[in-house]
Amino acid sequence: MAENLNLLTSTQEVIKEALNKLGYDEAMYELLKEPLRLLKVRIPVKMDDGTTKVFTGFRAQHSDAVGPTKGGIRFHPDVTEEEVKALSMWMTLKCGIVDLPYGGGKGGIVCDPRQMSMGELERLSRGYVRAVSQIVGPTKDIPAPDVFTNAQIMAWMMDEYSRMDEFNSPGFITGKPIVLGGSQGRDRATAEGVTIVIQEAAKKRGIDIKGARVVIQGFGNAGSFLAKFMSDLGAKVIGISDAYGALYDPEGLDIDYLLDRRDSFGTVTTLFESTITNKELLELDCDILVPAAIENQITAENAHNIKAQIVVEAANGPTTAEATKILTERGILLVPDVLASAGGVTVSYFEWVQNNQGYYWSKEEVREKLHKKMVDAFENVYNTAQSRNINMRLAAYMVGVRRTAEASRFRGWV
């Protein structure tokens, strides 16, 4: 709980600093420091054993000044109101950074999907849509997958919304199966976006990706795709890790072999005897370090020992505020999470656009459009950081919050 509150207050602090740098007054911060709307719902679900269990769910809409709100729905036992609020604010920033006509939204249900049957998950998913139906929709708030939710859950939710609306509404939600109006390339979009910003960051530091030594913490969805992409580009992935430990080979790991052996939770290190710790992994001598696991991994304690020239955050909040300061002072290029992981929401936007026009793009078209969005966003943030002599995180928050602040001002809200 304290962690989530900390996430909310730390997000508010950087937003405040960004708005100050942009010349906005206290009133704008007062408007943007919390979501415009937060709905808390109770969802009764008939369980397989015949009992009824009541679940708590949330939907936060940070700001709809720019357009409809957009953001994932997570199913997790630790979901809290504070976390959902903070993550909706992050989504506003991400949408601003990649120049999408959205504000940020986020949803969550307090549950443990790993302990539930498919039938129970379906009834919970449909119950959530009925509970929040008044504030969501293709022109109001567009959900997407997040932690422990997937294309199947999105399909159930889309079907429930379409039944209530009495016509097919694929644009209500993104991250759907292709056959129900999903977009090509959505499943790998986050990792592809991270790969693009790694390439751009490497150019700025004069590092050739071919032969560059890369360390990736985390081997889940983002980390494993990322390891494959980097390896295909000719980089040497010398270290990877999962929840149980890390693997290291200075000559480069055989990524295809590891991908074949990992289980559905991204676990692979348990198959090896000679492993190192996650702590040792972060401090390996490498060119590019990518934390793609959980928050608060690079802290004031280990920031002085990071040997990479570039750190790219594929996870949410892996570097603390103190560590950001230390890395920047040491001349390490830190690419923040709100920029690096914006590929997912970008392709979600493409999916929504395709749903609205009823015309679908090829995988090549999606990749080409994603590449342009991510390169433009990286350049914008990098140039802001250089011209104002600030770190990339503050620059990203400035770029991210500017659209929403401008739109709020033009609307006459502030």
pLDDT score of 241: 86
pLDDT score of 4: 56
With 0.75 as the threshold, say if the pTM is over it.
Answer: yes
pLDDT score of 2: 53
pLDDT score of 34: 94
pLDDT score of 3: 53
pLDDT grade for 24, boundaries at 50, 70 and 90: very high
> 316: which 2 tokens?
């949410």
Exposed / middle / buried, residue 138 (Cβ in 10 Å: 0-12, 13-18, 19+): middle
pLDDT score of 322: 82
- Residue 129 pLDDT > 90: yes
pLDDT score of 89: 93
Q: Mean pLDDT lowest for which of 321-330, 356-365, 387-396, 405-414? A: 321-330
* Residue % of the chain over a pLDDT of 90: 58
Sequence-distant (6+) residues with CB within 8 A of 268 are: 219, 240, 242, 247, 258, 261, 262
pLDDT score of 66: 95
Rounded alpha-carbon distances, angstroms, from residue 225 to 105, 201, 252: 26, 19, 16
Measure the CA–CA gap between 36 and 20, rounded to whole angstroms: 21
Partners of residue 74 on adjacent β-strands? 108
pLDDT score of 155: 95
pLDDT grade for 91, boundaries at 50, 70 and 90: very high
Torsion 383-388-391-394 (CA) sign: negative
Could you tell me which residue, 2 or 102, shows the higher pLDDT? 102
- Residue 5 pLDDT > 70: no
Torsion 43-38-381-298 (CA) sign: negative
pLDDT score of 265: 64
pLDDT score of 351: 96
Which of these is catalytic: 106, 228, 236, 373? 106
Measure the CA–CA gap between 151 and 341, rounded to whole angstroms: 19
Per-residue pLDDT averaged across 196-213, rounded? 91
pLDDT score of 149: 87
* Residue % of the chain over a pLDDT of 70: 98
Left if phi > 0, otherwise alpha if psi is -120 to 50, otherwise beta: which for 292? alpha
Catalytic-residue membership of 210: no
Measure the CA–CA gap between 382 and 45, rounded to whole angstroms: 48
Per-residue pLDDT averaged across 283-289, rounded? 85
- DSSP secondary structure, 37-79, as one string: EEEEEEEEEE-TTS-EEEEEEEEEE---SSSSEEEEEEEETT-
What SS3 class is residue 231?
helix
Per-residue pLDDT averaged across 85-91, rounded? 92
- Angle of helix 2-21 versus helix 81-97 axis, rounded to 10: 30
- Residue 1 pLDDT > 80: no
For the chain, the average pLDDT equals 90
- Residue 98 pLDDT > 80: yes
Per-residue pLDDT averaged across 297-323, rounded? 83
pLDDT score of 298: 78
Measure the CA–CA gap between 32 and 50, rounded to whole angstroms: 44
Could you tell me which residue, 127 or 279, shows the higher pLDDT? 127
- Residue 315 backbone dihedrals phi, psi, to 5 degrees: -90, 170
